[in-house]
Amino acid sequence: MAQQDKETRLTMAVNQYVSERRLASMRQAIGYGGNHAASIDTKRPKSWENYGFPNTLNFYDFLNLFQRNSLAKAGINRINRKTWQDNPWIIQGDTTDEKTTEKPWERDVRKLFKRLNVWQKFQDADRRRMVGAYSGLILRVADNARWEEELQPGGDLIEVIPAWEGQLTPSTWDEDIESPRYGQPTTWSYNEGNVQTADTPPPARSVTIHHSRVVIVGDYREGMSELEAAYNDFVSMVKITGGSGEGFLKNASRQLSVEYSDSQSLPELARSYGVSMDELNERLNDMMADLNSGIDAAAFTTGGKINPLVANVPQPKEHFEMQVQCIAASLEIPHKELIGNQQGDRASTEDAVNMNNRCQARRVGDVTTDIRRFIDRLMEYRIIPPVPGDEYEVMWSELNDASLADKLAMLKTATEAVKNMAGTGEIIATGDELRAIIGWEALTEPEVPADDLGDDNGEYDERMAAD
């Protein structure tokens, strides 16, 4: 039996190692050999090394890029802010229950999230997940237990703490092959304070946190930074901007050369300065230094010709634009949305629609999955009571929703259609249905099923008190 357990642990360790190495290999899409850098050019296996592209990337590469590169930061922030342009809301039941009055469970969730500013914390964690492969939300709960111990049901949620990938790493793993959480982290290591970079010392304290107190945003196994696919393009862009800036600086620094066509002029120049030929070179250097520093208004060369040393810097605009387009394509956002330059109503409208579609897909996809994981954890440990009916939905507004002017135009058309059909005795829409066209709430409250509110004896309130 002991031998079987040993073999099981060894198999799990090997599988974990193979999985991580496979993921790293997939990300780099290369074959490793000797000191060769990565490349997708089979004819030139060291091309990435020659171009200055890094072989492997980690979280701190992406964090440094986000903090120090304007386009990287703009791309992440634009997607993040558009995704969280407004906050979602949680409803009990399915999407057909959206227009019903607020139910007690919905009210309690809304008040808790508002009190702890949960949506702002989620937006922060979402931005950190886009920079790294994942991020985390740490639950501080008053449950009379230590952080390394499992959450105790019924505790009060005090705080939600967003954490970077670099702050939150798996510490121990579930090795029980019969466990439903086999192969998943049982504890996480959390470094308090700011995330460590090359320029900052490590945080003062590292704590171990039980997995029940950590909600992962993203995928800690196979997540990928939004900046990874365009990393080489960012490197190329830095070369273009840095090279053009260096060329401009060299031209602006007014480095000079003195050309003498007649060798007889040198002795005359030495006599004019009252120095020997051996000291002439030093005297000329002093003169040029004074001229460049603005001390002397003129230079006397006695037959010499002063020429500025000018570097021919190529126009960087076209090369820069090519890299920006590659970066925008990688982030899946319109080029003009990335750099904030919109010209022409048609172009700007189409770009806005595409940007909205990109972020709306994030809302109803990845972000909704993360929110449901968070709410399920709160219900699992009775931080909030289980939802009556065992069903809830995360609702978002539509980013490409019509403007108020467009809605009023649709309302006018619908009202005219209702008026025309009224003469035939056919009612095609009620007043509340017309109000829904422009997003106004119904004047009459729909009936709420008794199962959703509990019985007349206060079933929901009793569950709340029991929890």
The pLDDT assigned to 410 comes to: 78
Residue-wise burial string across 10-49, b where 16 or more C-beta atoms lie within 10 A, e elsewhere: eebeeeeeeeeeeeeeebbebeeeeeebbbeeeeebebbb
Residue 241 has which token pair? 């901007």
Q: For the chain, which residues score pLDDT lower than 50?
A: 29-37, 198, 455-458
Q: What is the secondary structure of 292-355 as a DSSP string?
A: HTT--S----SSEEEEE----PPP-HHHHHHHHHHHHHHHTS-HHHHHT---SHHHHHHHHHHH
Question: From residue 344, how far is each of 348, 349, 350, 352 by CA, in Å?
Answer: 6, 9, 10, 12
Q: How many helices (H) and strands (E) does the chain have?
A: 17, 10
Task: Determine the pLDDT at residue 274.
Answer: 77
Cα 155–chain centre separation: 32
How far is Cα 452 from Cα 458, in angstroms, rounded to an integer? 12
377 CB-near residues (< 8 Å, 6+ apart): 139, 212, 215, 383
The C-alpha atoms of residue 233 and residue 227 are separated, in whole angstroms, by 10
State pLDDT tens for residues 373-410.
Answer: 999 999 999 999 999 988 999 999 988 876 677 777 77
Round the CA-based radius of gyration of the chain to a whole number and report it: 33
Closest to 395 in 3D by CA, of 82, 87, 83, 85:
87
For the stretch 73-87, pLDDT in tens is 999 999 999 999 999
- Token match 């048609």: residue? 346
User: In terms of DSSP H, where are the helices of 202-254?
Assistant: 231-252
Predicted structure pTM score:
0.74
- Tokens representing 445 are 């409250």
Q: According to the model, what pLDDT value does residue 287 have?
A: 73
